[in-house]
Amino acid sequence: MDFLFSAGMTYWHWWSLAAVLLVLEITAPGVFFLWLAFAAALTGFAKLFFAGLSLEIQLLVFALCGVVATFAGRRWLVRRTGQGPDDEQVEDLALNQREAQLRGRIITLPHDVSGGETRVMLDGTTWRLHVEQPLPAGQKVRITAIKGTVLQGETVEKA
């Protein structure tokens, strides 16, 4: 490490760091290392064009470019995809939360409901479904809640 402080970093060091960060981007999920790799490459160009930059100035350039590239990249992703990390889809927010995934879902009854309960298949899982009144097969039912392992449903009015 003393070598870096005594001899200084060259533009090749910064470009090598950019390459390492790009490899990390490929192996790690997310789009964070990409912006840091961009900042390292820009710092390498700054060192190439301004050979007299001290290590402190190079680190400052890297930090500033990293912050600017991260915010600009996030803004670009939001514009390109129409959603940012704070505007995730409901399915993403409901990961591992079965009630949040199923509540509001409308299903068609496969069997008549006579005793207030029947069995339905949702996403490869068999559930007990409780409704208040007897319903014929083919009736649409909205899932309103999950109590334990029993889905609670209500009839969907036909439009």
DSSP tag of 89: -
One pLDDT digit (tens) per residue for the chain, 159 residues: 555 444 578 888 999 999 999 998 888 877 788 889 999 999 999 998 988 888 899 999 999 999 999 898 888 877 777 655 544 444 455 556 666 778 888 888 888 888 788 888 888 888 888 898 888 888 899 998 888 888 888 888 764
Q: Which domain holds residue 25?
A: 2-81
Residue ending a domain, among 31, 53, 81, is 81
Is 48 a member of any domain? yes
Residue 89 domain flag: no
Is residue 127, in this structure, part of any structural domain at all?
A: yes
**pTM score, two decimals?**
0.48
86 occurs within a structural domain: no
**Contact present, 72 and 78 (Cβ < 8 Å):** no
> In this structure, are 76 and 100 located in the same domain?
no
Percentages helix, strand, coil for the chain (3-state, rounded to 5) are: 50, 20, 35
Query: What per-residue confidence (pLDDT) applies to 88?
Result: 46
Residue 88 included in any domain: no
Helix (H, G, I), strand (E, B) or coil at 63: helix
Tell me how many domains the chain contains: 2
